[in-house]
Chains A and B, each alone.
Chain A
């Protein structure tokens, strides 16, 4: 073996890996077939490899910057599907990071998490379209730039809703929370579906279309024949959501390492012992609940702008379960796990299953034979894209039975109490 430090070797391996797949993706596999999708996932995986602890920081930073700021935009401008998928993954990742605080850190099972997402989405949908003029005085839609004002308001509204819901319920045993939040999630959906009369607030089941897109002017200004407006708009959302996920990760990390984060974990592990240690149960749980809700609300505002259309169907129980499946798969309480889980479930759901279905369909239609088995005999019911719930169910069961800590277990740093002699206060960890 060469005399290189193992960390250097790993770093070089990482660079080589990321480089090879990035080049393949940019020049060879530009379509959206199964193989293209695999290569794209391999490129995304390099982000994951780059964030492991045992790579040299320089290599990790190089790979992250190159992939996020160069490779993905380039690939995405060529084929916007990948920008859209990445944005979608990032939106779910922010949701998963929010739920990670509630379920992963504080151990409060929230089955109606998507309701807070819905609040944020409807806020911008109503204000950013003509819908608001149905029941509010003034001229609507608000100018697209008001988005940046509504975003923090959305965060606040969702947090407030979290507090209002949490206040009565968080005093109770944990399992009741699961069912009450489930009920709350359904209530928000039903309200969104029914508040079209007597006063038309949400436009009911018809949904709200024509929602203003922030920075659309920029996209129009940049548009050329080769790269039309919609591609620039997709790129703008990509960078926007990148900032949002950066904030979410930062919030997660800072909270996780803080006093309140430790209090959450203490409550999760043993409520009674935590209470005995002087942790105010309701207040601490409430903060977790509100923080998670706030993140969902913020990303909801972005979701409405990106989709330009919201309707109650986007916020049903299945969506709450999808987010839960993401963090269970990735590892409860683990930040990298939440992002990985979000990527895996979203890609599985949006891409892999679909592509697999399409591929099987072609094989069935062409009557391809493989090892004596004719694909023409494949029953029509066997259509992978039909069985989303089945897959969520299997993820939840298998992970809980065999690997409850998830694919990327949360690591709690061991904090050695290393008393700083000059100040007499506990210093940094070893």
Chain B
């Protein structure tokens, strides 16, 4: 008897749950999904992207509200894990209200998840996945986009700067053994060698490593002019700190993974001489709209935006622009394929630069700026602008 009682209790509990009033869903709701790590040690960037998208929807969602539609944000946590990201993707594609995805943060998650979106023609715009593979596959040709640059573009841009502007001859190259970091470091290494620079040491370190003495002690002997790091700021900041504490005077250069207000906090404000990174977004402090964005973001969420907030903001803006174009054309219930096609036609000036995609889904012209890091993030200075078009072959 205990068994059937349990069963009855369980069943009635579920009926109760089912009977619980659900908010009535409006007709014509469009969902933009963010898929970023909201948990784990990369949640800082993932949260920043999510908030950027939220702000974007608030800024550009007005016309839709007026037209009787509703645009909402659905935040998903991919935990920086391909398994979770793909599982989420498989859920999302079954929800007809979802019209676009902003994500993922990691290339390693973007690539398998894009295969899932491709099955239903759902457009995705990654704010930060820079692995060339993302837009190089035939299977996801129609839907995979990114507002960030590509490793094989950012690497050469950085190498140009290293050879021509700061006149580096001998370099150490370190990468964090992630899809992003190793791809960037490889591209940089190739470009640097081509431009006549000498790579003294090229090595990887585990992403969670905190002790770099095994590399930096050798640098004391080899005396490289430049240490290049492919990776993100939590580790990059630590490497900068240890470089300076070891008394090394080599210049330091990294990619857009270092673009965070926390870089200074981790590396220490005193250690900020001769530290550079390449990024696609001009520092907020030096952009009129950037400052405005920064202030609005801070007022709304109580903290300063990260570099990736702006990418998230622009990615969501692109999806909204595509949706708007489709609605303006008189389509009442736009299909996912149509929106994905419209995304390729958007053309506007976003926060991070000019937003327009080429046939592969790469941003047409990635403007890389090289930023010299100052003790206070607000004083970061653009020291060089490298314009590179995405490879089309």
B8 within 8 A of A: yes
Whether the pair A354, B77 counts as a contact (CB closer than 8 A) is yes
A222 within 8 A of B: no
Of the candidate stretches A14-22, A164-172, A402-410, A421-429, the one touching chain B is A14-22
A258 within 8 A of B: no
B123-156: CB near A (< 8 Å → 1, else 0) gives 0000000010100010100000000000000000
Contacts of B139 in A (CB 8 A): 210
Contacts of B23 in A (CB 8 A): 362, 366
| A:362-421 near B, CB below 8 Å | 362, 365-366, 380, 383, 385-389
The smallest beta-carbon distance between A293 and chain B, in angstroms, is 20
Whether the pair B119, A230 counts as a contact (CB closer than 8 A) is yes
Prevailing SS type, chain A contact patch:
helix
The smallest beta-carbon distance between B102 and chain A, in angstroms, is 15
Q: Knowing A80-B90, A311-B108, A311-B179 touch, does A29 contact B18 (C-beta < 8 A)?
A: yes
- Interface residues in B, total, Cβ within 8 A: 58
B111 within 8 A of A: yes
Partner of B88, one of A52, A55, A309, A354: A354
Whether the pair A42, B95 counts as a contact (CB closer than 8 A) is no
Whether the pair A17, B11 counts as a contact (CB closer than 8 A) is yes
| B:83-115 near A, CB below 8 Å | 83-84, 86-88, 90-91, 93-95, 106-109, 111-112, 115
Contacts of A20 in B (CB 8 A): 11
Chain B's closest residue to A88 (CB) is B87
The smallest beta-carbon distance between A398 and chain B, in angstroms, is 21
A31 within 8 A of B: yes
B14 within 8 A of A: yes
B79 within 8 A of A: yes
Contacts of A275 in B (CB 8 A): none
A62 within 8 A of B: no
Q: Knowing A35-B17, A309-B115, A385-B39 touch, does A79 contact B94 (C-beta < 8 A)?
A: yes
Whether the pair B137, A210 counts as a contact (CB closer than 8 A) is yes
| A:170-184 near B, CB below 8 Å | none
Whether the pair A80, B131 counts as a contact (CB closer than 8 A) is no
The smallest beta-carbon distance between A351 and chain B, in angstroms, is 7
A246-262: CB near B (< 8 Å → 1, else 0) gives 00000000000000000
Of the candidate stretches B68-76, B333-341, B385-393, the one touching chain A is B68-76
B312 within 8 A of A: no
Whether the pair B115, A308 counts as a contact (CB closer than 8 A) is yes
Contacts of A81 in B (CB 8 A): 90-91, 93-94
Partner of A194, one of B18, B75, B177: B177
Contacts of A361 in B (CB 8 A): 73-75
A126-152: CB near B (< 8 Å → 1, else 0) gives 000000000000000000000000000
Whether the pair B83, A314 counts as a contact (CB closer than 8 A) is yes
Chain A's closest residue to B17 (CB) is A38
A357 within 8 A of B: yes
Q: How far is the CA of A209 from the CA of B131 in the complex (A)?
A: 12
Q: Knowing A205-B182, A313-B82 touch, does A354 contact B76 (C-beta < 8 A)?
A: yes
The smallest beta-carbon distance between B1 and chain A, in angstroms, is 6
Contacts of B133 in A (CB 8 A): 206, 209
Whether the pair A385, B17 counts as a contact (CB closer than 8 A) is no
Chain B's closest residue to A353 (CB) is B77
Contacts of A10 in B (CB 8 A): 3-4, 7
A280 within 8 A of B: no
Taking A20-B11, A386-B77, A388-B39 as known contacts, 11 extra A-B pairs with beta carbons closer than 8 A to each other, sorted by chain A number, are: A10-B3, A17-B11, A39-B14, A42-B10, A81-B93, A206-B108, A209-B111, A209-B115, A307-B82, A319-B83, A366-B23
A-B contact pairs, 16 of them (CB 8 A): A10-B4, A13-B4, A29-B18, A31-B94, A35-B18, A55-B3, A81-B91, A84-B90, A88-B87, A206-B183, A228-B119, A230-B119, A311-B82, A313-B82, A349-B84, A385-B39
Binding site for B on A (CB under 8 A): 6, 9-10, 13-14, 17, 20-21, 24, 29, 31-33, 35, 38-39, 42, 45, 49, 52, 54-55, 79-81, 84-85, 88, 190, 193-194, 196, 204-207, 209-210, 228, 230, 307-311, 313-314, 319, 349-351, 354, 357-358, 361-362, 365-366, 380, 383, 385-389
